[in-house]
Amino acid sequence: MTTSHSTARFPHLRLRRTRATAWSRAMVAETRLTPADLIWPMFVTGGRQVEEPIATLPGVSRWSVDGIVARAREARDLGIPCIAFFPNTPKDRRSARGEEALNPDNLMCRAIRAVKDAVPEVGILTDVALDPYTSHGHDGLTDERGYVLNDETSELLVQQALVQAAAGADIVAPSDMMDGRVAAIREALEAGGHRNVQIMAYAAKYASAFYGPFRDAVGSGGLLKGDKRGYQMDPANSEEALREVALDLAEGADSVMVKPGLPYLDIVRRVKERFEVPVFAYQVSGEYAMIEAAAAAGAADRDALVLETLMAFRRAGCSGVLTYHAAHAARLMV
């Protein structure tokens, strides 16, 4: 057998030679994984000194703003460059139109300001979508039949992104899958003087069964009427993912995201090869929960699963990964 690289054959060629020792494996490793490759998503709740464990995400808690600041310091000390916030909005502040998303004093904005104050060197990524604020759990406004309205939603997302940028967000990340929202947000950010606020577009976001624990974490799970297949992508499609990415880039996205992560690495690879832009993946809540469940059942070693899955994202072409294991993984790397 010959390859394009070499005409050598067994036994002159033995691929196991370079695998035989740790130093040699380190020397030929094609991919590196460092804390700088991680983005740490966290859940914000009200009050002071509050920690609320999330049953379906064992090991992950919602934190009040003071706790979020402590986590931000932890991120900085661990070399994690960026953290992402998701609020658990109190029920009495949720509404059909999700107006709380535009409140400059909402949980999200309070967390942004507190962290920018205390730990300015850590990047803050914010979620642009209405689901943590709506009484029906959808990412946008709905009509009387429950259909999520595109253009009307997009207008609110623009306002939401501006409120987050004004509070100090470094990267706004629209996760709503409305058409045309990246361009609208970019224009508004430019006009609003937020020239260096980046947009990471959740470009290829699939209607997935892996989001369950997240919806518990932000408190939208029990509220959700129907499903999100009318705006999030069909898991059957990958050509369409390329179209989504092309559009978001043309509209001014600085980077793009594929979500969920591990089951969609083929999408990551196709996007990376086609567009040569920074691609991120979100190892979502259900993926985290599966790893934790496997470890708890004694079916696999937790630390090894964490590092192997994160390396797989890097190998597939990701610049970075959003993962709830970020702090734990960073500690394993030192």
Rounded to whole angstroms, the Cα distance separating 164 from 198 reads 12
In the DSSP assignment, the letter for residue 149 is: P
Residue 285 lies near ligand PBG (rule: CB under 6 A)? yes
Which spans in the chain are helix H?
A: 22-28, 65-78, 107-118, 150-167, 181-191, 212-218, 239-250, 265-275, 285-296, 302-316, 326-333
CB of 323 to ligand PBG, least distance (A): 9
206 binds ligand PBG (CB under 6 A): no
User: What is the C-alpha to C-alpha distance for residues 177 and 228, in angstroms, rounded to an integer?
Assistant: 10
Q: Which stretch binds ligand PBG (CB under 6 A): 47-55, 209-217, 242-250, 293-301?
A: 209-217
| Count of alpha carbons within 13 angstroms of residue 186, beta-carbon side | 16
Residues 137 to 166: which contact ligand PBG by CB under 6 A? 139
Q: Which is nearer to ligand PBG, 8 or 293 (CB)?
A: 293
Verify binding: residue 131, ligand PBG, rule CB under 6 A.
yes
Which burial class, exposed, middle or buried, applies to 27 when counting CB atoms under 10 A from its CB (0-12, 13-18, 19+)?
exposed
Burial class (CB in 10 A: 0-12, 13-18, 19+), 296: exposed
Residue 55: strand, helix, or coil? coil
Contact string 167-186 vs ligand PBG (x = CB under 6 A): --------xx----------
Among 63, 206, 211, 280, binds ligand PBG (CB under 6 A): 211
62 or 215: whose CB is closer to ligand PBG? 215
Other C-beta atoms closer than 10 Å to the C-beta of 32 total 11
Query: CA 158 to CA 181: how far, in whole Å?
Result: 7
Residue 205: active-site member: yes
According to the binding rule CB under 6 A, does residue 214 interact with ligand PBG? yes
- 259 is annotated as an active-site residue: yes
Q: Number of residues in contact with ligand PBG, rule: CB under 6 A?
A: 12
Binding segment (CB under 6 A) for ligand PBG, from list 31-39, 98-106, 127-135, 158-166: 127-135
Answer whether 200's CB lies under 8 Å from 175's CB. no
Closer to ligand PBG at the Cβ: 139 or 292? Answer: 139
Tokens 């699963």, residue located:
305
Instruction: Tell me the residue number closest to ligand PBG, measured at CB.
Output: 214
- Using CB under 6 A as the criterion, what x/- string covers residues 79-118 for binding ligand PBG? ----------------------------------------
CA–CA gap between residue 40 and residue 61 (Å, rounded): 13
In whole angstroms, the minimum distance from the beta carbon of 207 to ligand PBG comes to 8
Q: How many residues would you count in the chain? A: 334
Instruction: Name 124's bridge partners.
Output: 83
Residue 126 near ligand PBG by CB under 6 A: no
Of the listed pieces 9-17, 115-123, 151-159, 211-219, which binds ligand PBG according to CB under 6 A?
211-219
User: Which residues contribute to the site for ligand PBG (CB under 6 A)?
Assistant: 127, 129, 131, 139, 175-176, 211, 214-215, 228, 284-285
Q: Which of the residues are catalytic?
A: 205, 259
